[in-house]
Amino acid sequence: MPKANPYYDPSKNHHTPTGFCNPGYPESHSPEMVKRWQRERKEQHLPHPPDAGYPGFIDQWWQPADFNMPGNAVWWLGHATLLYQINGMHILTDPVFSLRVSPVSFYGPKRLTDVPAKINRLPPIDVVLISHNHYDHLDLPSLRRLIKHSPQVRFIVPLGLKKLVEKQGAVRVDELDWWDSLVIDGVTFTSVPARHWSVRTLWDQNQTLWCGWMISANARNYYFSGDTAYSPILLEIAQRFQSIEMAALPIGAYAPRWMMEAHHINPQEAVRLHRELACKQSFAIHWGVFELADESLDEPPMELHRALKQQGVSEQEFQLIKLGARLAL
């Protein structure tokens, strides 16, 4: 029996009496679809290794992170883990530093490229943003290590995740619904919609919310999408934020489309979203670390190159960067 949603607001179309949903979209998958996907990827031995092998891929796309450079910037630390440095504040998104993203430490998707910096090498973290509760975005061992590293770190999470994060030792946790905002030392954090879902056990599907984040400072907006499939609801972000200086958009975990289209955008949709949100610049995340779907680790950047050419967007406007690389904001 599903639990009652303590946050339920019937005036909001992404709320349900027992949890949350994607407005305008039915349930996005079924146990039969999952079984078919697992069977087919096993039969086809997917995903295939990168063309240059895993060592060659790492040589091309990985570098150690250097946090000694001044100024407002963002570092990509792999998958959806980003470190923003804005006005002296350090903001971390979806921190995942563990070897596996799984309920257990000995089984599940394994990290294939190392983190560009261990937690003990990070600067003191002021704010952590969590997009949703999937294991590749909400990694509890990483949170516990991060809290020891930065005891006064403040967490901002979607509805329903406060208690779980507090159990890891966090002392300051704020929960936000879509379009809620919180201002900390002159920086505004706004929860924005995403088309996704949530689950950590067999009994809690869609009982906690998912979202993206807009970070606003110095009259500039920086968009972190979290996980999202394509949806017209995302276009409301452009209506509320007339200018997006930099967007971090996912390009991986998209194959096969019949299974993943309802969960993750592919490179073509990422470029489309970049254009429709009128982002001044974007860079690619959510690829190159874990084999979560059927495409090879090196397929997303190749597909992104094709999408940029097809849609007339330059590679300077929508960038591919190495794990560990820094972009000035």
Q: Is the peptide bond before 23 cis (omega within 30 degrees of 0)?
A: no
Cα dihedral value 105, 79, 126, 117, nearest 10:
80
Which ranges constitute the DSSP H helices of 31-157? 31-43, 53-61, 140-149
Question: What is the structure's pLDDT at 1?
Answer: 64
- In contact, 274 and 234? CB cutoff 8 Å: no
Antiparallel, parallel or unpaired: β 82-86 and 89-93: antiparallel
- In contact, 129 and 91? CB cutoff 8 Å: yes
Question: What is the structure's pLDDT at 31?
Answer: 83
Question: What is the structure's pLDDT at 242?
Answer: 86
Tell whether the torsion through CA atoms of 116, 117, 123 and 126 is positive or negative: positive
Per-residue pLDDT of the chain (329 residues; tens, 9 = 90+): 678 999 999 999 999 999 999 998 877 678 888 899 899 999 999 999 999 999 999 999 999 999 998 899 999 999 999 999 999 999 999 999 999 998 887 888 999 999 999 999 999 999 999 999 999 999 999 999 999 999 999 999 999 999 999 999 999 999 999 999 999 999 999 999 999 999 999 889 999 999 999 999 999 999 999 999 999 999 999 999 989 999 999 999 999 999 999 999 999 999 999 999 999 999 999 999 999 999 999 999 999 999 999 999 999 999 999 999 999 99
Question: What is the structure's pLDDT at 29?
Answer: 75
CA angle 46, 48, 51 (to 5 degrees): 165
Q: Which residues are paired to 326 by β-bridges?
A: 75
CB atoms within 10 A of CB 183: 11
Question: What is the structure's pLDDT at 105?
Answer: 76
- Please name the residues in contact with 306: beta carbons below 8 A apart, sequence gap of 6 or more: 267, 268
Question: What is the structure's pLDDT at 106?
Answer: 81
Which pair of structure tokens corresponds to residue 48? Answer: 């295939």
Question: What is the structure's pLDDT at 109?
Answer: 93
Q: Which residues are paired to 284 by β-bridges?
A: 249
- In contact, 113 and 52? CB cutoff 8 Å: no
Question: What is the structure's pLDDT at 202?
Answer: 84
- Predicted model pTM: 0.96
Q: How far apart are CA 140 and CA 291, in angstroms?
A: 20
In 3-state terms the chain splits into helix, strand, coil percentages (rounded to 5) of 25, 25, 55
Q: How far apart are CA 297 and CA 51, in angstroms?
A: 9
Q: How far is CA 109 from CA 59, 71, 196, 257, 285, in A?
A: 21, 35, 20, 20, 17
